[in-house]
Structure 1
Amino acid sequence: MIFMRALLIGNSKNKLDNIAAAQLYPFFLYRRQLRRRTCLEFKHIQAYTFSDICDACTKKNVDVIIIRPDWREDSETAERSLQYIRKHNPYKKIIFLDPFDQTSSRYFSILPYVNQFLKYQRLKDVKQYTRPFVGGSFLTDYLANELNYDLNNWHVGSPAPEGYESRIGTYWNFATSQGFYKLFRKPARHTVVKDIDIFCRLSFGPPEQVEWYGQYRLAAVQALIPLEAQYKLAVDRSPEGARSISSKQYLDEIQRSRIVFSPFGWGEVTWRDYEAACHGCLLIKPSVDHIDTQPNIFYPGKTYVPVRWDFQDLEEKCRYYLENPDEAQQIV
């Protein structure tokens, strides 16, 4: 039997980066299955910087190099490093796992040097990556052009080199984390009383300087406020208030909630989306029809309820499903 040998380079420690750790976790969890079913063997090297990644790529007896870097290094360092890695590994398959939460990336300039450039959420239409976006991403472009947000020079993005956009693909997101795995493996517990109508606990970023990310989420919360006269809400109204909520309270409240409203964060898909699914809540969030992610739990009207990006129909949708629990239950 001929095995494919892979070198997996990146951070697998939660304390350093919980998203990176979540995305590498399946390799370790299913190591034996990968070997038995796909004839894939891998060696992992813990690395954080592009310098460390370049050093790790000197190993010769591998067929595939899988790289998951940190997001904090600049695009010039990324391009220079991948150019070096390709030069010294001309015949090996190089798979790059992009670290950015957005559908965009600062690292698209490396596309000529990799076989695949995989994101955990990407635009379905990859041709769009060849055009510039205000703020770098599809989301920030919308906020700036349609809602007149001042991004204050914030920019995370880069244009994909023409002809290489087809190399941009999708791989699994943070729903593969060890925490979600353990949650799915737990035996079914007694039914939790759903005594909270709408849950929307959020982070807004640093309270001393609320950027577009926090402004958009504050607008989302404001769209829910008209409902509080009739329904019980668990929401954060300010950056200061959000910091006072413990993880224990967050978990307790989401389990007791009928609806989880999950606005976008730095990217469109958030941990809260999958937490809602795990705890039997109706997920309502701005439409994500434009993205591809795995695992995909976003089927409009079947697994979640999409709303407009400007929240104009949010109150109406929440009221409808709170007043029609049988229809809500079909989606949950």
Structure 2
Amino acid sequence: MRATADLDRRAGAAMAGRARPVAARWLARPFPRGARCRVLIYYTTSAICWSQVYPFVHYAEAFARRHGAAVRCLPVERFLTGARGPEADVVLIQPWFTTPPEALAQALERFAAHHPRARLSFLDSFAHNDLRLGPVLADHIRFYLKKSLFRDRRLYLRAWRGDTNLTEYYSALYGIDPGPPVERAVPEALLDRLRLCPSFFTAPRFMSGFDTPPPPQAGRGLDVQSRLGARGTPWYSAMRAAAQARIAGIEGLSLSPPGSLSLPEFMAELADARLCFSPFGYGELCWRDVEAFQAGAVLVKPDMGHLETAPELYDPGETYLPIRWDFADLEETLRGALADEETRSRIARTAHARIAAYIAEERFVDDMDFLFSDQ
């Protein structure tokens, strides 16, 4: 366990600052001669994207045992510019959402010409719950991996006003003109190739952080951790400002004090909080959700019933407390939870245990079995 924790710590540091070039060279080292299956991941260098790639590195030995696989990683710029990479059997690409579709289309055509036998799939690290690059990808990929999926897959075929489902809802709620519906032209055939992968909890800083239980609910000094940024696009700013105003207007609660915190200070505050208020960001999933699960603060969040995750992280009344998207029942939910320590303790334990079991039992390796299928 200590060796795994050291790997997670080093991996987290490796993708930041001066250590990054060393890490990049290690990730890109040649495949071993005896590998039965060569897995090559073209990754985007950012904390968000690395959280999606890192479990392939963390569980490299498990993939080797089960599939004879060796995992190597190269920056996605090499894929997009046509730089020749090593031959691989399974390839995953992870361009950022701002990648021009034309550039991606050219890269896909080049790759298909040079590596016709490679089994190509797409890693979607985007906040937005849409398939905006789907029309370009559909003819080239076997699978499309995403951190959350609409339970009703046909919602991916819908045109949302402005940009996404959140843009449309919150723009209408706050009287903002989001612009016309955005037609993504997602091929219906792509829906059958959608697959779930974990969210932020597979980042290096979380993978070993679930080894031990969080502090108990009893004795915590802060009612609600409530640090919310509000700068952004008009709908986002309006939504976050409304969330801030709503919680600030509830009398008698102890909330996060003003001022910024370092990450260790932020996590210490969460570990002292009974509840954590986590509105949506530009997408539904937030780093704060996982931080709350790890710290044992009960997550209070707009209803996530429209989405699936792997594992099922948003189980109402079991792993989090859902509220309305317009925050109308926020006070009722907070006061009810604060009055019931037994329920808070149960929810906090369940949420923490759900992620801890997923990590410890190597379920990620199980969930990725489809990548190694010849079908």
Answer yes or no: same fold by TM over 0.5.
Answer: yes
Question: How far apart are 1:186 and its partner, in Å?
Answer: 5.6
Q: Deviations over 1:260-300 (max 9, x none)?
A: 01100011011111111111111110011111222432111
Equivalent in 49, 55, 60 of residue 31 of structure 1:
60
Q: Deviations over 1:221-273 (max 9, x none)?
A: 1111232x31111166xxxx6xx343343222211100101100011011111
Q: TM-score scaled by structure 2?
A: 0.76
Equivalent in 228, 245, 249 of residue 226 of structure 1:
249
* Higher alpha-carbon deviation: 66-75 or 300-309: 66-75
Q: Please say if 1:148 is aligned against 2:175.
A: yes
Alignment check: 8 A CA contact 1:286 1:309 kept: yes
Residue correspondence of structure 1 range 96-175 to structure 2 within 5 A = 96-109=122-135, 110-151=137-178, 158-175=184-201
In 2: Cα distance, 1:42 partner to 1:282 partner? 36
Alignment check: 8 A CA contact 2:215 2:296 kept: no
In 2: Cα distance, 1:327 partner to 1:65 partner? 45
Judging by fraction of residues, say which structure has more helix. Answer: 2
> Kindly tell me: are residues 263 and 49 of structure 1, through their superposed partners in 2, closer, same or farther at Cα, counting changes over 3 Å?
farther
In 2: Cα distance, 1:26 partner to 1:199 partner? 29
Alignment check: 8 A CA contact 1:192 1:255 kept: no
Question: How far apart are 1:26 and its partner, in Å?
Answer: 1.2
Q: Deviations over 1:65-111 (max 9, x none)?
A: 11112333222222332233234333321111013111114311112
In 1: Cα distance, 2:102 partner to 2:324 partner? 37
Equivalent in 103, 108, 113 of residue 82 of structure 1:
108
Question: How far apart are 1:177 and its partner, in Å?
Answer: 0.6
Structure 2 gap segments, 5+ residues each = 1-33, 349-375
* Higher alpha-carbon deviation: 121-130 or 300-309: 121-130
Q: Deviations over 1:178-211 (max 9, x none)?
A: 10023224687798841100111122235xxx53
> Kindly tell me: are residues 252 and 8 of structure 1, through their superposed partners in 2, closer, same or farther at Cα, counting changes over 3 Å?
same
Question: How far apart are 1:22 and its partner, in Å?
Answer: 1.3
Alignment check: 8 A CA contact 1:6 1:65 kept: yes
Alignment check: 8 A CA contact 1:64 1:94 kept: yes
**Residue 206 of structure 2 aligns with which residue?**
180
Residue correspondence of structure 1 range 1-332 to structure 2 within 5 A = 3-11=36-44, 16-48=45-77, 50-52=79-81, 54-57=82-85, 59-60=86-87, 62-109=88-135, 110-151=137-178, 158-185=184-211, 193-205=219-231, 211-227=234-250, 229-234=251-256, 244-332=260-348
> Kindly tell me: are residues 294 and 81 of structure 1, through their superposed partners in 2, closer, same or farther at Cα, counting changes over 3 Å?
same
Alignment check: 8 A CA contact 1:175 1:295 kept: no
Question: How far apart are 1:154 and its partner, in Å?
Answer: 11
1:306 aligned counterpart, secondary structure:
strand
Identity rate, percent: 29
In 2: Cα distance, 1:169 partner to 1:28 partner? 20
In 2: Cα distance, 1:153 partner to 1:180 partner? 40
* Higher alpha-carbon deviation: 88-97 or 184-193: 184-193
Q: Once superposed, what is the RMSD of the aligned Cα atoms? A: 2.6
Alignment check: 8 A CA contact 1:129 1:160 kept: yes
Alignment check: 8 A CA contact 2:41 2:72 kept: yes
Amino acid at match of 1:73: T
Question: How far apart are 1:170 and its partner, in Å?
Answer: 1.5
* Higher alpha-carbon deviation: 275-284 or 96-105: 96-105
In 2: Cα distance, 1:152 partner to 1:257 partner? 40
Q: TM-score scaled by structure 1?
A: 0.85
In 1: Cα distance, 2:120 partner to 2:100 partner? 20
In 2: Cα distance, 1:188 partner to 1:320 partner? 22
Alignment check: 8 A CA contact 1:50 1:69 kept: no
Alignment check: 8 A CA contact 2:80 2:104 kept: no
In 1: Cα distance, 2:157 partner to 2:118 partner? 26
